[in-house]
Structure 1
């Protein structure tokens, strides 16, 4: 005997706002980890631990605990960044807006927030490898956030259209 599967038997899909949250959290943790790997292999002089400098005291922030907490903090901050993208740019199609968003974040961190983080030298005093690696990481991060949110937005529009027809 075969049981008939009804639409009500399927779990409800996650809300779009929840998807933005998880995209931001995963993106921050993933790209923060890639940033740490880049630092570990000397592609960049900027460690993820730099994010803790203005707020945390002690040498623990330079060790493994500081690295783990920094990457988790990047995930939390990335949720905010993802919501900003959601509220401002979710309707724009294409990969270039995500790339541009990543470049804007790079400029924000290395020009505007730079005075708050003493271990990050001014942009033009950094090595060429650090600048190139950082621009690439921020670009890929922006593409990840932008394209993921835009894809889900377009998918939700298609699903709404199918539901009404």
Structure 2
């Protein structure tokens, strides 16, 4: 009976701010790439997660199917961990949504303008239609806000708890 009480009285050690940033990165990558895939299927955009991480290197039938999209979403989730850790180390002390929103739009420019030659399945910037540009900028803006604001908020909470 006494050991049960001791086990019940133990409290779990809270996750560090970096651990929460890693989880936020994965969840944000999966969530927003899924939404990007939905916009692709409804023809709001001509690119999806699989366009970047699957179809640019693998030209098979399954890469254009639901399996390719699912693997693309999961790959973006994993790659998003890197983006979240980068945000954590560079911008975690910034307060508010505006730095996170700017980060999201900057990511869009990096992937669609500067790194476009790496992704063969993604049309060049001049070949993108206006629907794709607007839709993907909005998704990257929301992704940046989700990642950045969540990480900054968690960091501020972590610092406030440790200051006590």
Q: Tell me whether the two structures share a fold, i.e. TM-score over 0.5.
A: yes
* Residue 60 (structure 1) aligned to one of 38, 59, 62: 62
Normalising by structure 1, report the TM-score. Answer: 0.90
Segment drifting more, 12-21 vs 114-123? 114-123
Distance in 2 separating the partners of 1:128 and 1:54: 22
Normalising by structure 2, report the TM-score. Answer: 0.91
Partner residue in 1 for 2:47? 46
Show structure 1 runs of 5+ residues with no match: none
2:70 is aligned with 1:71: no
Segment drifting more, 74-83 vs 10-19? 10-19
Number of paired residues? 160
How much has 1:57 moved relative to structure 2?
4.0
Structure 1 stretches of 4+ with a deviation exceeding 6 A read none
Partner residue in 2 for 1:21? 22
Deviations 1:109-145 (A, max 9, x none): 1112211222222223211111000100000000000
Partner residue in 2 for 1:108? 110
What SS does the aligned partner of 1:144 have? helix
How much has 1:66 moved relative to structure 2?
0.5
Distance in 2 separating the partners of 1:57 and 1:131: 24
How much has 1:48 moved relative to structure 2?
1.8
Distance in 2 separating the partners of 1:74 and 1:48: 7
Distance in 1 separating the partners of 2:117 and 2:158: 41
